[in-house]
Structure 1
Amino acid sequence: MTTTNTTKMFGIAEAFGVSARPELTIEGFADESHPMIPRKTEYRFRPGLSGLIAFLGEAAGDAFLLTGPTGSGKTSLVCQIAARLNWPVQSVTCHGRMELSDLVGQFVLNNGTTEFIHGPLAVAMKEGQILILNEIDLMDPSELAGLNDVIEGRPLVIAQNGGEVIRPHPKFRVFATGNSAGAGDTTGLYQGVLRQNLAFLDRFQVINVGYLAAEVELGVLQKAIPSLPGEIGEKMIAVANEIRRLFLGEGEQRAELTITMSTRTVIRWARLSLTFRGASQPIAHALEQALTNRADAEQREAIHRIAEDVMGNLWLGVV
């Protein structure tokens, strides 16, 4: 399905629910029916939005890298901006065996004949979509170097498809996310992260996406699970922030955890706590299913100790 060329101006304050002057606008698409537009969900936009909005308005030969710890909401930030602008998205999760050809396209067998099928990069360039390369620091830097020209606005030439030339649509944008900023993993937490080519990184604008502030995250939790008692929600956020602090190596004697708690996991924990309402220790049981059953025994015990200390009598009580 081809992206419509009909554009529409959106007021930034109204579209994103932020404080902005009425005359500040961003161009998106009028068509709301494209299947690749991300689903709009409840979302609280944070400071730093202006940089992404400016990039969407004018890429100027750049791509955009969002870096930060796992679970901080890097991909969801881009997708929820796109959802409010009716901007279709091609989202790809990178890995160590991915090649540039996987992004460009390949021949497939169709009714006894071969047919070239465009990949996410070619589709996004041709139709004016956003390309998101998730976990970009897992991909071989020599393969990523093939994106240098298209990021700068040059045509994509597909030699294997008879030299097909795709000129970038004016609305084509490239975003990438990664747990490192391309310099490799210095923490030992992210297996497979590779140091990226400096010339490739030089083509990116960069922002760091941290975890939500406690009051903002509490608002997200309350909107997602409105029946959750407020005191329990506040304690869950406090537990999550202590887990994140240790995950980032900010504890005493730099004690670390190798798993963390995203906002998505907090919401899962809250939802399961209500699901197990009436059972013995529903909050503890919900935490196991939401997070700690995938931790080793030592870390599971540490996280449950944190939760018990923070939640006090609520830990063993009913929701």
Structure 2
Amino acid sequence: MLTTIEAMNQAVRNAGGRISEEDFLYAVKELKEADGQETTIVSLKANAFNSTRMKKAGVIRVTIGKDRQVWLADQAEALMSGNTVAMPTMSQPASPTKAFNDTPIATVQVGGVFYGVPRNSPEALAEMSDMLKSLVPKKVGFVESDRNEMRLIANRYRRSLEGDTIKSHILLVGPTGCGKSLLAKDFFAELNTPLLRINMSDGITEDQFIGTRTLIDGEVVFQDGVLTMAADLGIPFLADEINGARENILMALNGLMDTGMLVIPDDNNRVVKAKAGFMVIGTMNPPDDYAGVNAMNMATKNRFTYSIPFDYLPSDQEVKVVMQQTGFTDEEMVVNIVNMAGDLRRLKKDHQIESDTSTRMLVQLVDELRDLTISEAIRYVMLGRYSADERPQVEAAARARIADFV
């Protein structure tokens, strides 16, 4: 007879890999330690995947909907008695093919799950379109947050849901790794609303962005590109590094943001009207602070209702984010690491170093403390990202803040 853990692991595998066994076991371990409960099907069904309790336990790497939580527990319970339970059809999209996740040009987020869209695969774009059409309706509720930027995203998304897809666009401008994209991803993950993300500086073509005629299943059809799909289906569109886009790509985006409509000459001048829910969230690094970063032209800037300067979080909030992202529980160590990062950021503001010390880097650093000492993590995760001239100052900052760094 299967044990509880064995049954839950099998249920996770049957779920098509929506969450990994590693994340599941990590969640169970953390919740058991936090709540002092035995790991049984009853306690799992009642508590283990409750998002509020998971956040209190410092576990945020597993994000699944309530119907899926119940299904996993029911499936495990049935497996223990030798039976199976059908998966609910609307809890998550159908499992994509392997090709769907190879060499992505864009990613689609649903809840906390991401799928990649291959760069040269019209079939995968068609599959993504079908997947998005099958999703559950959006929730018209908003994430509570003390971050003003989150409130502004909620404000604009509400406008879009009410049908105003012209005045709903937001530009986030800030240093690399400070959480611009993560803020948008977290917002829509909490709503369980699909989010289509693309890196605009990654050589995307007009065919991939707008669409092109192609042969699918022996028939010539027009396959919508990622922007057309987002507008036509009312999906929020996260355009990372938007100032790196090609001019023809920006012209198409500008027209859609300005009028709420996209004209496609290659599809018999079809007019796509942006549906409620569509909005553009652009991100970029400030060009004055980064060599080689393009300044955004004023025509595109003027299409955004809000242009929000973004910076690293205050240290107390950054500590919480790093601990939540990693599940690391040694708060004193994380405080010291964040203080070290603050010292390095001040050196950059004083033009003594040029490299960023991003929140993303801190998350990666702390995550490696499961396997490395703090000295090893700083050397192998951090130092290589700074120039040879900057490394002595990084090491000095580490010694000043972290007693165990040698």
Q: TM class by shorter-chain length?
A: 0.7 to 0.9
Q: TM-score, normalised by structure 2?
A: 0.60
- Report the CA distance shift for 1:220/1:197 in structure 2 as closer, same or farther (over 3 A): closer
Q: Secondary structure at the match of 2:110?
A: coil
**C-alpha distance in structure 1 between counterparts of 2:335 and 2:202, whole Å:** 39
2:285 aligned with 1:179: yes
Counterpart of 2:354 in structure 1 is: 257
Letter in 2 for 1:301: P
Counterpart of 2:311 in structure 1 is: 210
After TM superposition, the structure 1 = structure 2 runs for residues 109-148 of structure 1, keeping only pairs within 5 Å, are 109-110=215-216, 114-141=220-247, 143-148=249-254
- Report the CA distance shift for 1:255/1:158 in structure 2 as closer, same or farther (over 3 A): same
Contact preservation (8 Å) 2:196, 2:236: yes
Structure 2: any 5+ residue segments left out of the alignment? Answer: 1-51, 56-89, 94-107, 115-143
Q: Superposition RMSD on alpha carbons, in Å? A: 2.7
- Report the CA distance shift for 1:302/1:98 in structure 2 as closer, same or farther (over 3 A): same
Q: Which structure carries more helix by proportion?
A: 2
Deviation at 1:49, TM superposition (A): 2.2
2:373 aligned with 1:314: no
Counterpart of 1:157 in structure 2 is: 263
**C-alpha distance in structure 2 between counterparts of 1:48 and 1:269, whole Å:** 26
Counterpart of 2:371 in structure 1 is: 275
Counterpart of 1:196 in structure 2 is: 296
- Report the CA distance shift for 1:101/1:64 in structure 2 as closer, same or farther (over 3 A): farther
What is the count of residue pairs matched by the alignment? 270
After TM superposition, the structure 1 = structure 2 runs for residues 8-157 of structure 1, keeping only pairs within 5 Å, are 33-34=92-93, 36-39=109-112, 46-59=147-160, 60=164, 61-62=166-167, 63-95=169-201, 97-110=203-216, 114-141=220-247, 143-157=249-263
Deviation at 1:38, TM superposition (A): 4.3
Q: Secondary structure at the match of 1:196?
A: coil
Q: TM-score, normalised by structure 1?
A: 0.76
Higher-RCO chain (CA-CA 8 Å, sequence separation at least 6): 1
Q: Secondary structure at the match of 2:312?
A: coil
Percent identical pairs in the alignment equals 22
- Report the CA distance shift for 1:198/1:32 in structure 2 as closer, same or farther (over 3 A): farther
Structure 1: any 5+ residue segments left out of the alignment? Answer: 1-13, 18-30, 277-281
- Report the CA distance shift for 1:239/1:32 in structure 2 as closer, same or farther (over 3 A): farther
- Report the CA distance shift for 1:306/1:66 in structure 2 as closer, same or farther (over 3 A): same
Deviation at 1:243, TM superposition (A): 2.0
Letter in 1 for 2:303: R
**C-alpha distance in structure 2 between counterparts of 1:131 and 1:89, whole Å:** 6
Q: Secondary structure at the match of 2:389?
A: helix
